[in-house]
A = this chain, B = another copy of it.
C-alpha cells in the first residue's frame, strides 16, 4: 500500500509516519519510484505497537526507538529484550535527591531481594529504584509502611509469573515473544497502577465510608 493508505488504515498522519521512519521507529517502505514507497501489513502492526508504547505507555520517542531496535535485532535474546524494555521504561530518581542515605537504601533493597530469594543481576533497574524508595521511607521515619513493602513484593511476584506465562504462551517464535515482553512490561505497569487506584478506593470506602460517594452500578 502507499503511504496515504497506510495513514488511513492506521489513523496516523503521513507527517507522523515519515517522522517515525526518520527516527528509526518504523522501517522505510520499499521504494517503487523516486517519490513513492510501498508499505506492508507489518507496517500497520508496527504503527499500532509504536502508538501503544507512546500514547498509553508514556514512553518518549527516543526510548521507544531504543526498545524497538532491541526487538528487531535477532541476535538479542528474549531475556536481553526484557532487560532493554526494563531499562527503557524505568524512570530513575533525580541524582541529587536531597539528603537520602543511599547506602542504607541499597542495604534495605538487597536484604529484601535476599529475603525473597530473587536471583537478579546488580544492574537490574528495579534495584536502584527500590533502594531510593526504601531510603526515602527510612528518611521520613515511616515504619508503618513495612507491611506495604512486603505486599508490593508479593504482588510483584504474582505479576511477574503472569508476565512470563504470557510470553511463553506466545512462543516459540522470537518475534511474537519479544512483542509480548515489550508491550506487557510497558502497559502492565500502567494497568497495575490503574488497578491499584480502583482497589484502593474500594478498600478506602470500606474503611472510611463516604455518604457522598455514588458508586458505579455495574453488571457483569
Contacts and interface: CB of A to CB of B under 8 A. Distances in A.
Contact of A126 (B124, B139, B198): B198
B190 A192 contact: no
Interface size grouping (class) on chain A: 35 or more
A203 interface: yes
A213 B204 CA distance: 43
Contacts of A97: 51, 55-56
Interface in A121-141: 121-122, 124-127, 129-130, 132-134, 136-137, 139-140
A205 interface: yes
Q: Which of A48, A56, A119, A189 has the most CB of B within 10 A?
A: A56
Contact of A160 (B98, B161, B168, B196): B196
Contact of A147 (B162, B203, B208, B219): B162
Contacts of A210: 77, 79-80
B192 A165 contact: no
A173 interface: no
A73 interface: no
Contact of A130 (B142, B198, B202): B198
Interface stretch (A24-32, A34-42, A64-72, A179-187): A179-187
Contacts of A162: 147-148, 150-152
Q: Which 9 A-B pairs have the closest CB atoms?
A: A126-B197, A151-B162, A156-B195, A155-B155, A160-B199, A129-B194, A11-B99, A55-B97, A126-B194
19 contacts: A12-B98, A48-B98, A78-B204, A79-B208, A116-B199, A119-B215, A129-B193, A145-B184, A147-B162, A148-B162, A150-B162, A152-B188, A153-B195, A155-B158, A155-B192, A156-B195, A157-B199, A189-B193, A192-B196
